[in-house]
Amino acid sequence: MTRVLLRILAAVLLLVASAAIGWRVLAPAEQAASAITPYPPEPTPTFGVTGRLNQAPLIVDRRLRVYAAKHQVRADGPVTARTMYTARWSFRRWPEQVSAVVASGATVVTRWSDGRLIALDARTGKVSWRADGPDAPGYAGHRTGAATVWSPPGLRLAGGAVVVTQGQDLSGYALSTGERLWSITVPAGCADGFTTEGGAYVCATGAYDAVTGRPVSGWPAGPYEPVGCVSSVCPAFRDGSGHGWLAGGAVPRRVAALDAPGSTFAAGVVVVPTDAGISAVSVDGERLWERPGLVRVLGGTPATVLLLTPSNSLEGLDARTGVLRYTYPMAYGTDDTHWKPGLYQVFDGYLAMERLSPEAPEDPASPIYYLTLDTVLVTVLPY
């Protein structure tokens, strides 16, 4: 009888211990590991491809690389490191998922699936502020996290404000403090908008001041198409009639050269696709130069238009003259250049790009979607 009681007692203790362990693992939790070394200085790197990574980096303050995974945001450095290093700092929440990440200066703003907005100081990894927002989509970054940090859903920056969208709810928060500045209800179709260099949030049904939330005047009729950007701080757009405009000020400026379908704005010039290749036009309509051959316009640095050739070589052309300033293959070391370009970002003198398998299907979850394990290249651009 004693043996039976001992066995029962042991089984009960084992069950209690298992439940405690399960609760420790599965209970809602937040874990933060702050930086323990001084903030690194801005590097003076050698130009060209400097590394290959298995996750997409958000370049922050020209000093750090910030990555997003399903439940965690972390940073490493330097930006030019040839591979991913041990995290300088990290911030993890469970069971919430990372929905979107944006950064301005040394402030990294994260949005989570429960609607929480949490800003982190990039220098230390410590929380700068917290704010409540509407529920957000779950993690959709797939293996690299590129869509979460380079095309963040429902999270935009403009004019010192963070704009959050969900359904027909549109809200603005102060980037420096997290204070909610405004919140409005907008017509359906306004969730997937973009912000401009002039500080407006623009969607299919209208344009709003990012700091006040008030509708802005002097704008043409929509819906609008962002030009020269992905979703934040866009330099230009096209209106509902296909007319092009610069958006660097409070009132947009008409630029007829941007009317051409497929045209973009990079390095201060309008780049237009032609039957023979591409041509560059000033904002006043002056024809500047032509470049024959099939190329893809990636964007620009202040004085250089960036192109990607069919053989995956990067070209930098002088924005005013079209003179080739530099060219090199998008490859690390002896890597092959036979791959398909995926998502990419040009920011602060750096270009990061996913490399996809030449036979990549449409589904990023496919095991043959990415080229290799370290599928993201980072290259330093002459700035």
Q: Tell me: the pLDDT tens digits for 91-121?
A: 999 999 999 999 999 999 999 999 999 999 9
For residues 79 and 77, what is the distance between their CA atoms, to the nearest angstrom?
5
Is residue 228 scored above 50 in pLDDT?
Answer: yes
Average pLDDT over residues 315-327: 98
Per-residue DSSP letter, 306? E
Query: Is pLDDT at 19 greater than 90 in this prediction?
Result: no
Q: Give the pLDDT confidence score for residue 175 in this predicted structure.
A: 98
Domain boundaries, the chain: 170-254
Tell me the backbone φ, ψ of residue 90, rounded to 5 degrees: -150, 155
Flag whether pLDDT at 188 surpasses 90: no
Cβ-based burial of 123 (10 A; exposed 0-12, middle 13-18, buried ≥19): buried
Mean pLDDT value of segment 16-39:
69
Which carries the bigger pLDDT value, residue 114 or residue 45?
114
The two structure tokens encoding residue 43 = 């590097």
pLDDT band at 3 (very low <50, low <70, confident <90, very high): low
| Count of CB atoms situated within 10 Å of the CB of 360 | 18
pLDDT beyond 70 at 356: yes
Mean pLDDT of the chain: 93
- Enumerate residues 6+ apart whose C-beta is below 8 A from 12: none
What's the farthest any 2 CA atoms get from each other in the chain? 99
Place of tokens 């204070």: 179
**Residue 95: CB atoms within 10 Å:** 12
